Structure 1
Amino acid sequence: MTEHLPARLGLSQQFDCSYLADRQEQLLVILDHSCYTPSKFEALLALGFRRSGDQIYRPHCPACSACKSVRVLAKAFLPTKSQKRKLNKAKNTFTVKYSDQQHPEYFPLYSKYITERHQDGSMFPPEQNQFNSFIFCHWLPITFIELWDQEKLVAVAVTDCMHNAVSAIYTFFDPDYEHYSVGTIMILEQLKFAKQYDKEFVYLGYQIDECAKMRYKTQFLPAQNRVADQWLAI
């Protein structure tokens, strides 16, 4: 497949990789403002790009190609027996809600999640401004898929919505509920959302085979990896 990249691109400086301790990371950044629309972004997702806040990027590391985009074929997806058990367990405890607006409960939940689970990451310590600049976007509609335990917010899956696809941006949850496999539940809810609105793909970001905490993305099938500019079945 021949790529059709915008004319205006930027290349970041190299910095320490967030996932592989012995690697350096570099990003290719879209500078063409005409690309910052839902339809153009959907085309760029198919070329392996993602967004962080208002910015569209993808890894462009000179000595490493470990990051591979993953997308699930939403219409064909069927949960495994294990995933069905998790859904059934959650169904008796939680309520799922959709919102197109952020709520005051989001940042305290995010702060607890980062503080208890990701103190070794770049988002610690959690800050409101950093949270806003990372999660929210001015040019794209976002759906917040929420998991509630009665009146208590348990999890939020930040989900970008395009014509034919959704993109899973970030999920944060209350670590006290980890035994419910909340991370898995929220991906399953994003897939359910995609089916409900007749979307073809759910983009899950980047898979890194050498990073154990990223391997969960291949548990949702059928799915594809983007390898050497082609989407190949996992």
Structure 2
Amino acid sequence: MTDRVRLFQTLPHSCGYYAERTAQNLVVDPGAPHLDRLYAPALAKGFRRAGGHLYLPQCTACQACVPCRIDVAAFAPDRTQRRCLTRNADLTVIEAQAGFTHERHALYRRYLHARHSGGGMDAADADDFQRFLSAPWSPTLFVEFRQRDRLLGIAVTDVTLAGVSAVYTFFDPDEGSRSLGTFGILQQVALAKRRGIPYVYLGFWIAGHPKMDYKRRFKPLEIRKLGRWIAMP
């Protein structure tokens, strides 16, 4: 990173991906000045934003979480992704200012209730919405998908000169046939291409994981191993 900054390691906690495992994260000092300046270099080192924290998994017994990013200039959608674009050709895509609205919050609650029912996340109030999806220093856009006036989904997107970060996507759970998660990533790639930004960071890829292995379909994908980015075989 370009600025000197302290890094902290969290205590062991339950892993969000494997119930039988514990996890630890390396976290950039959340009180550090100029976190906005640190963000792009942190992305390039594999860190990810959740709320106001920049973190990187640092687990002693497991290295399953692998940072990954799409090479925007080289990316071309495959047949399934092209069908996804066609299926959603009736939607309007809007790059909107991030922030709370009752419409966005209602959609977020519906999505969490369908995907994470009973885990506590589905009770997210307005403060939880703001705290998780954005931070005062983060360069965040809400890329909205609308069918006329109806909000169907939002891709929470952080935009830096060095890379676009796909932070979180939520959508109408009744619109599963549209593959709006895939559609969101394709829109983030399109945004990066329009702005001349070289990479879209997808967070962490986990080989074989039912919720994380989909990222390998966005080719060419680069993964970070032993301190450098390499093309996924």
Scaled to the shorter chain, the TM-score interval is: over 0.9
Contact 2:5 2:32 survives alignment (8 Å): no
Matches within 5 A, 1:72-83: 72-83=70-81
Partner of 2:35: 36
SS of residue in 2 equivalent to 1:140: coil
* CA shift in 2, pair 1:33/1:222, >3 Å: same
Q: Give the alignment partner of residue 155 of structure 1, picking from 142, 145, 153.
A: 153
Structure 1 residues 7 and 126: alpha-carbon distance in aligned structure 2, compared to 1, 3 A threshold: closer
Question: Structure 1, unaligned stretches of length 5 or more?
Answer: none
- Whether the 8 Å contact between 2:3 and 2:38 is mirrored in structure 1 is no
1:1-234 maps to which residues of 2 (within 5 A)?
Answer: 6-31=4-29, 33-34=32-33, 36-37=35-36, 39-91=37-89, 93-102=90-99, 103-119=101-117, 121=119, 123-234=121-232
SS in 1 for 2:169: strand
Q: 1: distance between equivalents of 2:34 and 2:149?
A: 40
Deviation for aligned residue 1:116: 0.9
Q: Which amino acid aligns with 2:182?
A: T
Q: What TM-score do the two structures reach when normalised by structure 1?
A: 0.93
Q: Across the two proteins, how many residue pairs are aligned to each other?
A: 230
The alpha carbon displacement at 1:4 in A equals: 7.9
Which secondary structure does the structure 2 equivalent of 1:66 belong to? Answer: coil
Shift, 1:140, TM fit: 2.1
**Greater than 4 Å deviation, 4+ residue runs:** 3-7
Deviation at 1:151, TM superposition (A): 1.0
Percent of aligned pairs with the same amino acid: 36
The alignment's C-alpha RMSD in Å is 1.7
Per the normalisation by structure 2, the TM-score is 0.93
Offset, 1:217: 0.9
Q: Deviations over 1:165-189 (max 9, x none)?
A: 1100000000111101111111101
Structure 2 gap ranges (5+) = none
